[in-house]
Amino acid sequence: MSQVTPAPVVDENQGYVKAKGSGITTGGAPATGRGRLFARIALFLIVAMWTIPTIGLLISSFRDPNAVRSTGWWTVLANPFDFTQWTLANYDQVLFGGGMANAFVNSLVVAIPATVIPITIAAFAAYAFSWMEFKGREVLFVIFVGLLVVPLQVAFLPLFRVYNTLGWNGTFLAVWLAHAGFGMPLAVYLFRNYMGSLPREVIESARVDGASHFQTFWRLIIPLSIPALAAYAIFQFLWTWNDLLVALVFLGGQARVEVVTLNLANLIGSQGQQWHLLTAGAFITMTVPLIVFFSLQRFFVRGLTAGSVKG
């Protein structure tokens, strides 16, 4: 008569495996709720460290200048519904008196094309690297990846001379091309990894049905690659929106093409002690990046990790 081995039972509370009907336990160390509690406390502290300064920035931007200079922002929490301590004059002065409204529009004019251009070109290139056969494909892709280590600063002088010859300095086109060119290697790398991980059977089925490369790319690859496109769009838009150096070099100090980062830098220089204006200006520059990130965050992790591991 054969001996029946007892089935293992997983104790979820203790975190180890115990053979049913026996006194033998196997597995790792018991997992208690203490570790989860510690992780939650640590996460709460990290979130608080990042959030509290932002809350203080927001509150200070709505306070009277005298109140900002004499008391801390946390004092309003004692009576937050006392509307006599709140004012919109700071935003009015920054937007229309300091030129932030025009700079805000200029930043959108710079950031949107500088995000769309590299996404469009890199998506076509990534499809070619993933699903088209041509000589030197792998070598060319390695060159693209190698360009990731080239810093933007080393190209400032050559680009400035080329743009000056073409008469592009001080125009939005100069900034578009600079951001698009140096954002392209990362875009090609991310999109190629993502598109290359898509099921080959789906691509081959489209070819059997008579679809051309463009039809396959536009009707099949692009809808399936939305997470990767959105993840890169977050990176590129935030980098372009928050950029100061490229705008300073290629746009200069001209008020008509001034972006929010340049406007805020000038505001700090001319209104160094006007904290109520600086906080209002800083919070205006934060609004669009926050909207972009939270609207696309569901694609963020999925787009970055897809295609990174195969097997």
The string of pLDDT tens digits covering residues 139-194 is 999 998 888 888 888 888 899 999 999 999 889 999 999 999 999 999 999 899 88
Local structure of 128: helix, strand or coil: helix
Same domain? 69 vs 174: no
- pLDDT value at residue 231: 87
Local structure of 231: helix, strand or coil: helix
Question: Cα(282)–Cα(60) distance, rounded to whole angstroms?
Answer: 11
pLDDT band at 272 (very low <50, low <70, confident <90, very high): low
What is the arrangement of strands in the sheet containing 25-26, beginning at the earlier edge strand? 8-11, 16-19, 25-26
Same domain? 284 vs 147: yes
Last-in-domain residue among 87, 104, 121: 87
Residue 43, in any domain of the structure: yes
- Number of domains, the chain: 2
pLDDT band at 21 (very low <50, low <70, confident <90, very high): very low
Give the range of the structural domain holding residue 57, as residue numbers without chain letter: 33-87
More confident call, 13 vs 131: 131
Same domain? 69 vs 164: no
Which neighbouring-strand residues pair with 18? 9, 25
Residue 222, in any domain of the structure: yes
Same domain? 243 vs 115: yes
